[in-house]
Structures are given as structure tokens and as C-alpha cells.
């Protein structure tokens, strides 16, 4: 028994997770909706991952703020946020462009029965205001990720100021707090390693249930919409991201090889947040420095959604086609703006894009019943949108890390400088 466990532990994560995925497809196809009995297996996996996400975000942000000096941190933030905003806006634009070529909505009409479940569109300003928590314990308990990120940044800076205080007592407390956070981060990663051993079974459960429930009928009705979404994501993943990586001299093939576990996990979980633990590990494996990865990735998993942005672009054209609405240049600019903000406000959980899409539709004056129409195939499109979201986060981290390298003085170089200055 022990030998079997050892054998299992030594097998690569990607092999195990792919086996779970393929078995899941098989089971789903053979048993159809009754494969749903396996749903709890998948739920256990997602719950375990989510359980680790709050401590992970809290500890890794606080620790990484303290491992980076404020000047560096400002520089990293000053690079990563423009990257998020520019790539997201481009992704909305690209989604619109691809959908314009494919015309996914042609031939379809507005569903007669409009009493469908339409996600409620919260006002954009409300989404942004929610970032500041009125009660930190409530934010932690409810898993309100944006608020937790906000809080972690504040606590991280406060601890850093304490550690640099002139008062011995305050300094000592600051150092003690940081040690505690580092220990917390270590224990979270250890627990995560255990959780990931369960991943293949969880993936089997998720895939069997999804494939079993997803009748081929919905898919064929909206096939063009699904196709446009996949093409958009394909362009972003296989053309735009490699171009960005090459521009910053990051070797593309090596990058994909090192990060594939995160890419596959995003695909099967449809959740950037649930994937975050794997994303951070993959970034470390890809050689991205901890100070960049541990700060940018939790933030990225929360605010950077390139795939969701493509979703909004494709969705808007799809709806405009159905209702016969001509998109003017002005309307497109407005949609890019609303789409970018909605993507930032989209949570990294399965199906969250549907809420973002209703925000964009409301801004664009399109009927949100069409969001409900696409909800039928959202499980299939969400997989690739999430994959794109997570890949975008790691590409951002890699790019910033690469550009940070010129600011890091190699120890030998530092020594040479010291000797030369004597």
C-alpha cells in the first residue's frame, strides 16, 4: 500500500490531472446526467482549494511586501497595473473584432420566454466601493477577495513600517509579526501540496459531471458563439501572449512547459482563484522571483481577467447581432471601457463572467436576457476564459520580473563596484 502511495506521489502532477480529466470525459459521455453522482468528488476539491485561498492571499501579500523595499514595490505596481489595464482593454477589442468576423448571433432570435434566470447587474461603482471593507472579519469570513487584498496590502505596509521603526519594542513586534506571517505562508503551502494530491480525483468528478450534464443540443444551437469565444482565446493565448513574452525576452516554450500545471488547473476548475495556489507554484517553477510572483499573482487572480474581457467583447457583438443593433465607433469605445472595468470587477470564480457581462450589456443598452441565453454554454466557454485569465496573470508576472532584473545588482557586480570605488 505504502509502495503504491509512493509510486503515485512520484508521478507528475500534469499526468495525474490529465488522467483524471480524460477519465471524467469518458464517464460523462457514457453515463450522461447520472454521472452527476460524482459531483461531490469535484466539490470536495474546489472547497479544499478555496479553503486555502484566503490565508494564501493574506500571507503571501504581507510577506512579499516586507521582502521588497517600498521603492521596488511602487515600481512593480507601476508596471503591473498598466499591463493589466492595457491587455484587458485589448482583449475586449479583440473579442469584438473576432465576433464581428464570425457573426455568432446571426440566425438566432431573442428567447420568447424571457422569464429566464438573468444575473443581476450590480452598478460598477458599487463593485469598486466594495473593495474597502467596513469590517475586516466580515471580509475574511465572506471570502471577499478584493477586500482581503486591500487589507493585506495595508497590513503589509504597516508591518514594514513597524520593522523599520526607531523604537526597539515596535521593531521587535514588527519582526515577530512578519515571522508569524512567514510561518503561516509555509503551513499554507504545505497543506496545499497535500490538497493537490487529491486533484486528479476532484478533476474526474468535475469533468464527468460537466460533460454528463451538458447536452449536445445547447452546444449546437450556440456553436458559433462558442467557436468565436474559442478563437478569441486561441489568438490571445497563441499569438498575443507569446508576442508579449518575446518582447521581454522570456523563452516561450520553456514558459509554457513550466506553467502548464496552472494552465490545466484553470481549464478544469474554471476558477482563477481556486487555481491561485497552483499558479504561484508554477510561477516559482518558471523562475519568476518570489517578490514579484507573490505580490502580483494574488492581485492578478482578482483583477486581471483577459479571458473574461474577450467574453464581454464576443458577447456584446452576439447580442447586437440578435437584436439587429449597429455598433458605432462611439458605442465600441464605451463597450471597451465598460468591459475593462467589468473584467476588473469580475470575481475569479466559475460563472462570474455572466455577471460582468450583464454589467456591460446594461451599459451598452443591450437586452440582458441574452446573457441567460449564453449561460447554457457557459461551462464550456468559462473553461477557456479562465485558462486565458490565469495565463495572462503569469505572463504579467514574467514580464514584470524580467524588467525588474535590470534593477537587481548581482552580488559579484556589487563586489566589483565596491572594490572599484576604493
Which residues of this chain interact with ligand ASP, rule CB under 6 A? 270-272, 305, 308, 311, 346, 348-353, 382, 385-386, 389
| Rounded-to-5 percentages of helix, strand, coil across the chain | 80, 0, 20
Give the shortest CB-270-to-ligand ASP separation in angstroms: 5
Residue placing its CB nearer to ligand ASP in the complex, 314 or 398 = 314
Indicate the burial class of 191 (C-beta count within 10 angstroms; 0-12, 13-18, 19 or more). middle
The whole-angstrom separation of Cα 35 and Cα 48 is 22
Residue placing its CB nearer to ligand ASP in the complex, 24 or 348 = 348
Residue placing its CB nearer to ligand ASP in the complex, 102 or 357 = 357
User: What are the grid coordinates assigned to 133, written together?
Assistant: 471593507
Residue placing its CB nearer to ligand ASP in the complex, 382 or 404 = 382
User: What are the grid coordinates assigned to 418, written together?
Assistant: 565596491
Residue placing its CB nearer to ligand ASP in the complex, 60 or 275 = 275
User: What are the grid coordinates assigned to 347, written together?
Assistant: 470575481
Give the shortest CB-244-to-ligand ASP separation in angstroms: 19
The tally of CA atoms less than 13 A away on the side-chain side of residue 197 is: 11
Residue placing its CB nearer to ligand ASP in the complex, 258 or 271 = 271
Give the shortest CB-289-to-ligand ASP separation in angstroms: 24
The whole-angstrom separation of Cα 422 and Cα 417 is 9
266 with 344: CB under 8 angstroms? no
* Alpha carbon separation from 72 to 192, 248, 319 (Å, rounded): 29, 19, 44
Residue placing its CB nearer to ligand ASP in the complex, 353 or 396 = 353
Q: Which residue, among 134, 322, 93, has the nearest Cα to 224 in the 3D structure?
A: 322
Give the shortest CB-354-to-ligand ASP separation in angstroms: 7
Q: Which residue is nearest to ligand ASP (CB)?
A: 353
Residue placing its CB nearer to ligand ASP in the complex, 13 or 385 = 385
Q: Using the 8-state DSSP alphabet, how is residue 106 labeled?
A: T
Q: Using the 8-state DSSP alphabet, how is residue 406 labeled?
A: G
Residue placing its CB nearer to ligand ASP in the complex, 209 or 308 = 308
78 with 301: CB under 8 angstroms? no
Give the shortest CB-91-to-ligand ASP separation in angstroms: 11
Give the shortest CB-126-to-ligand ASP separation in angstroms: 18
Give the shortest CB-136-to-ligand ASP separation in angstroms: 24
314 with 231: CB under 8 angstroms? no
Q: Which residues are CB-contacts of 294 (< 8 A; sequence separation ≥ 6)? A: 60, 61, 63, 64, 67, 280
Give the CA angle between residues 296, 304, 368 to the nearest 5°.
160
Give the shortest CB-157-to-ligand ASP separation in angstroms: 27
Indicate the burial class of 419 (C-beta count within 10 angstroms; 0-12, 13-18, 19 or more). exposed
Residue placing its CB nearer to ligand ASP in the complex, 41 or 352 = 352
Alpha-carbon Rg for the chain, nearest whole angstrom, is 23
Give the shortest CB-355-to-ligand ASP separation in angstroms: 8
Give the shortest CB-275-to-ligand ASP separation in angstroms: 8
The whole-angstrom separation of Cα 84 and Cα 301 is 11
The whole-angstrom separation of Cα 102 and Cα 43 is 36
Amino acid at each position: 500500500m505504502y509502495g503504491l502511495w509512493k509510486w503515485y506521489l512520484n508521478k507528475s502532477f500534469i499526468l495525474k490531472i490529465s488522467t483524471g480529466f480524460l477519465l471524467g470525459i469518458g464517464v460523462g459521455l457514457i453515463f450522461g446526467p447520472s454521472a452527476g453522482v460524482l459531483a461531490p468528488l469535484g466539490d470536495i476539491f474546489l472547497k479544499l482549494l478555496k479553503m486555502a485561498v484566503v490565508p494564501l492571499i493574506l500571507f503571501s501579500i504581507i510577506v512579499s511586501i516586507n521582502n521588497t523595499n517600498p521603492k521596488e514595490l511602487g515600481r512593480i505596481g507601476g508596471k503591473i497595473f498598466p499591463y493589466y489595464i492595457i491587455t484587458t482593454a485589448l482583449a475586449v477589442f479583440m473579442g469584438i473584432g473576432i465576433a464581428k468576423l464570425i457573426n455568432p448571433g446571426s440566425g438566432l432570435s431573442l428567447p420568447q420566454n424571457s422569464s429566464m434566470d438573468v444575473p443581476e447587474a450590480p452598478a460598477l461603482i458599487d463593485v469598486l466601493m466594495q473593495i474597502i471593507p467596513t469590517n475586516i472579519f466580515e471580509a475574511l469570513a465572506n471570502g471577499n477577495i478584493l477586500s482581503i487584498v486591500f487589507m493585506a496590502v495595508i497590513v503589509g505596509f504597516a508591518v514594514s513600517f513597524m520593522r523599520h521603526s526607531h523604537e526597539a519594542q515596535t521593531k521587535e513586534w514588527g519582526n515577530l509579526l512578519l515571522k508569524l506571517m512567514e510561518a503561516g505562508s509555509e503551513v499554507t503551502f504545505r497543506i496545499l501540496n497535500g490538497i493537490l494530491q487529491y486533484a486528479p480525483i476532484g478533476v474526474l468528478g468535475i469533468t464527468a459531471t460537466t460533460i454528463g450534464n451538458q447536452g449536445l443540443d445547447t452546444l449546437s444551437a450556440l456553436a458559433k458563439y462558442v467557436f468565436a469565444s474559442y478563437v478569441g482565446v486561441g489568438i490571445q493565448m497563441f499569438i498575443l501572449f507569446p508576442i508579449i513574452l518575446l518582447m521581454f525576452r522570456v523563452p516561450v516554450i520553456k514558459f509554457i512547459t513550466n506553467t502548464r500545471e496552472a494552465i490545466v488547473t484553470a481549464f478544469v476548475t474554471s476558477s482563477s482563484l481556486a487555481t491561485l495556489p497552483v499558479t504561484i507554484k508554477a510561477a516559482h517553477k518558471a523562475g519568476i522571483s518570489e517578490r514579484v510572483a507573490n505580490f502580483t499573482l494574488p492581485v492578478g487572480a482578482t483583477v486581471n481577467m483577459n479571458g473574461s474581457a474577450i467574453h464581454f467583447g464576443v458577447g456584446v457583438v452576439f447580442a447586437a447581432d440578435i437584436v439587429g443593433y449597429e455598433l458605432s465607433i462611439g458605442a465600441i469605445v464605451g463597450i471597451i471601457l465598460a468591459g475593462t472595468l467589468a473584467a476588473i470587477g469580475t470575481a475569479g470564480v466559475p460563472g462570474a463572467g455572466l455577471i460582468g457581462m450583464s454589467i456591460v450589456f446594461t451599459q451598452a443598452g443591450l437586452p440582458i436576457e441574452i446573457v441567460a441565453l449564453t449561460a447554457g454554454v457557459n461551462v464550456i466557454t468559462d473553461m477557456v476564459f479562465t485558462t486565458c485569465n490565469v495565463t495572462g496573470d503569469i505572463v504579467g508576472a514574467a514580464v514584470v520580473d524580467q524588467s525588474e532584473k535590470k534593477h537587481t545588482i548581482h552580488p559579484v557586480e556589487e563586489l566589483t563596484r565596491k572594490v572599484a570605488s576604493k
